[in-house]
A = this chain, B = another copy of it.
Protein backbone atom coordinates (compact mmCIF):
# COMPACT_ATOMS: atom_id res chain seq x y z
CA UNK A 1 0.00 0.00 0.00
CA UNK A 2 1.33 3.42 -0.91
CA UNK A 3 1.74 6.05 1.75
CA UNK A 4 3.13 9.53 1.52
CA UNK A 5 6.57 9.82 3.06
CA UNK A 6 6.67 11.67 6.38
CA UNK A 7 8.86 14.34 4.84
CA UNK A 8 6.17 15.10 2.29
CA UNK A 9 3.49 15.55 4.91
CA UNK A 10 2.85 19.15 5.90
CA UNK A 11 1.38 17.85 9.14
CA UNK A 12 4.50 15.98 10.12
CA UNK A 13 6.72 18.93 9.22
CA UNK A 14 4.48 21.25 11.20
CA UNK A 15 4.75 19.10 14.29
CA UNK A 16 8.49 18.73 13.94
CA UNK A 17 9.13 22.43 13.43
CA UNK A 18 7.01 23.35 16.40
CA UNK A 19 8.80 20.76 18.50
CA UNK A 20 12.13 22.38 17.69
CA UNK A 21 10.74 25.87 18.22
CA UNK A 22 9.61 25.00 21.73
CA UNK A 23 12.90 23.31 22.59
CA UNK A 24 14.87 26.33 21.38
CA UNK A 25 12.68 28.69 23.37
CA UNK A 26 13.14 26.69 26.54
CA UNK A 27 16.89 26.54 26.05
CA UNK A 28 17.26 30.28 25.50
CA UNK A 29 14.91 31.20 28.32
CA UNK A 30 16.68 28.91 30.77
CA UNK A 31 20.10 30.16 29.69
CA UNK A 32 18.89 33.67 30.46
CA UNK A 33 17.73 32.53 33.88
CA UNK A 34 13.98 32.57 33.29
CA UNK A 35 11.38 29.88 33.83
CA UNK A 36 8.73 30.86 31.29
CA UNK A 37 7.23 28.69 28.57
CA UNK A 38 6.57 30.09 25.09
CA UNK A 39 2.88 29.97 25.83
CA UNK A 40 3.29 31.85 29.09
CA UNK A 41 5.50 34.43 27.42
CA UNK A 42 2.94 35.18 24.71
CA UNK A 43 0.19 35.54 27.29
CA UNK A 44 2.30 37.79 29.48
CA UNK A 45 3.22 40.02 26.53
CA UNK A 46 -0.42 40.27 25.45
CA UNK A 47 -1.56 41.19 28.95
CA UNK A 48 1.18 43.80 29.16
CA UNK A 49 0.01 45.36 25.91
CA UNK A 50 -3.67 45.20 26.90
CA UNK A 51 -4.09 45.90 30.61
CA UNK A 52 -7.44 44.85 32.04
CA UNK A 53 -8.10 42.35 29.26
CA UNK A 54 -10.42 39.44 30.05
CA UNK A 55 -9.46 35.81 29.47
CA UNK A 56 -11.58 35.15 26.41
CA UNK A 57 -10.25 38.18 24.58
CA UNK A 58 -6.72 37.27 25.59
CA UNK A 59 -7.20 33.76 24.28
CA UNK A 60 -8.39 35.16 20.95
CA UNK A 61 -5.40 37.48 20.66
CA UNK A 62 -2.89 34.66 20.86
CA UNK A 63 -5.09 31.85 19.51
CA UNK A 64 -5.34 29.73 22.66
CA UNK A 65 -8.25 27.58 23.58
CA UNK A 66 -10.36 29.14 26.31
CA UNK A 67 -9.90 26.14 28.54
CA UNK A 68 -6.14 26.23 28.03
CA UNK A 69 -5.89 29.88 28.99
CA UNK A 70 -7.23 29.12 32.46
CA UNK A 71 -4.20 27.09 33.40
CA UNK A 72 -1.75 29.47 31.77
CA UNK A 73 -3.21 32.43 33.65
CA UNK A 74 -3.20 30.41 36.85
CA UNK A 75 0.50 29.73 36.56
CA UNK A 76 1.37 33.32 35.65
CA UNK A 77 -0.61 34.55 38.65
CA UNK A 78 1.01 31.99 40.91
CA UNK A 79 4.43 33.26 39.84
CA UNK A 80 3.31 36.77 40.72
CA UNK A 81 3.69 38.04 37.17
CA UNK A 82 0.06 39.02 36.69
CA UNK A 83 -2.98 39.84 38.79
CA UNK A 84 -6.51 38.62 38.30
CA UNK A 85 -9.38 40.63 39.71
CA UNK A 86 -13.10 40.61 39.18
CA UNK A 87 -14.38 43.13 36.71
CA UNK A 88 -16.74 45.75 38.05
CA UNK A 89 -18.70 45.93 34.81
CA UNK A 90 -19.10 42.20 34.30
CA UNK A 91 -18.91 39.97 37.31
CA UNK A 92 -18.26 36.93 35.13
CA UNK A 93 -15.04 38.40 33.78
CA UNK A 94 -11.61 38.60 35.40
CA UNK A 95 -9.52 41.62 34.48
CA UNK A 96 -5.90 40.68 33.95
CA UNK A 97 -3.07 43.10 34.60
CA UNK A 98 0.68 42.68 34.65
CA UNK A 99 2.53 43.26 37.92
CA UNK A 100 5.77 45.25 38.25
CA UNK A 101 7.59 41.96 38.58
CA UNK A 102 5.83 40.75 35.45
CA UNK A 103 7.01 43.78 33.55
CA UNK A 104 10.53 43.24 34.77
CA UNK A 105 10.42 39.60 33.68
CA UNK A 106 8.97 40.48 30.31
CA UNK A 107 11.63 43.06 29.66
CA UNK A 108 14.41 40.81 30.86
CA UNK A 109 13.41 37.80 28.81
CA UNK A 110 12.89 39.65 25.55
CA UNK A 111 16.47 39.25 24.27
CA UNK A 112 16.25 35.50 24.88
CA UNK A 113 12.95 35.32 23.01
CA UNK A 114 14.48 37.22 20.12
CA UNK A 115 17.46 34.87 20.12
CA UNK A 116 15.13 31.87 20.08
CA UNK A 117 13.20 33.20 17.09
CA UNK A 118 16.44 33.44 15.18
CA UNK A 119 17.83 30.15 16.41
CA UNK A 120 14.88 28.11 15.22
CA UNK A 121 15.49 29.24 11.63
CA UNK A 122 19.26 28.99 11.84
CA UNK A 123 19.32 26.77 8.76
CA UNK A 124 17.65 29.39 6.59
CA UNK A 125 18.88 32.60 5.04
CA UNK A 126 17.10 35.83 5.96
CA UNK A 127 15.25 35.70 2.67
CA UNK A 128 14.20 32.11 3.18
CA UNK A 129 12.99 32.96 6.67
CA UNK A 130 10.84 35.73 5.25
CA UNK A 131 9.45 33.32 2.67
CA UNK A 132 8.71 30.71 5.30
CA UNK A 133 6.89 33.19 7.52
CA UNK A 134 4.93 34.54 4.58
CA UNK A 135 3.80 31.06 3.53
CA UNK A 136 2.95 30.07 7.10
CA UNK A 137 0.91 33.26 7.56
CA UNK A 138 -0.97 32.56 4.34
CA UNK A 139 -1.72 28.94 5.23
CA UNK A 140 -2.73 29.93 8.75
CA UNK A 141 -5.03 32.69 7.53
CA UNK A 142 -6.84 30.22 5.29
CA UNK A 143 -7.18 27.69 8.10
CA UNK A 144 -7.81 30.04 10.99
CA UNK A 145 -11.40 29.00 11.57
CA UNK A 146 -10.62 25.28 11.40
CA UNK A 147 -9.27 25.04 14.93
CA UNK A 148 -11.24 25.52 18.11
CA UNK A 149 -8.95 28.41 19.06
CA UNK A 150 -8.87 30.79 16.08
CA UNK A 151 -7.03 34.08 16.22
CA UNK A 152 -9.30 37.02 17.02
CA UNK A 153 -8.40 40.70 16.96
CA UNK A 154 -9.17 43.06 19.82
CA UNK A 155 -12.83 44.07 19.72
CA UNK A 156 -13.21 47.73 18.78
CA UNK A 157 -13.59 50.01 21.76
CA UNK A 158 -16.63 51.50 20.06
CA UNK A 159 -18.25 48.11 19.76
CA UNK A 160 -18.05 47.60 23.48
CA UNK A 161 -19.72 50.88 24.31
CA UNK A 162 -22.27 50.97 21.52
CA UNK A 163 -23.46 47.49 20.74
Contacts and interface: CB of A to CB of B under 8 A. Distances in A.
Contact of A139 (B1, B132, B138): B132
Interface string A132-163: 11011111111110111101000000000000
Contacts of A139: 17, 20, 120-124, 132
Contacts of A151: 16
Nearest to A151: B16
A114 interface: yes
A16 B110 contact: no
Nearest to A128: B135
- Chain B CB within 10 A, most for which of A16, A24, A117, A131: A16
Given A117-B4, A117-B9, A132-B135, A143 B14 contact: no
B16 A21 contact: no
Contact of A12 (B10, B42, B124): B42
Contacts of A107: 1
A38 interface: yes
A28 to B, nearest CB: 10
Given A9-B117, A146-B27, A3 B123 contact: no
A93 interface: no
A7 B18 CA distance: 15
A46 B56 CA distance: 40
A123 B141 contact: yes
Given A1-B106, A20-B140, A139-B121, A10 B132 contact: yes
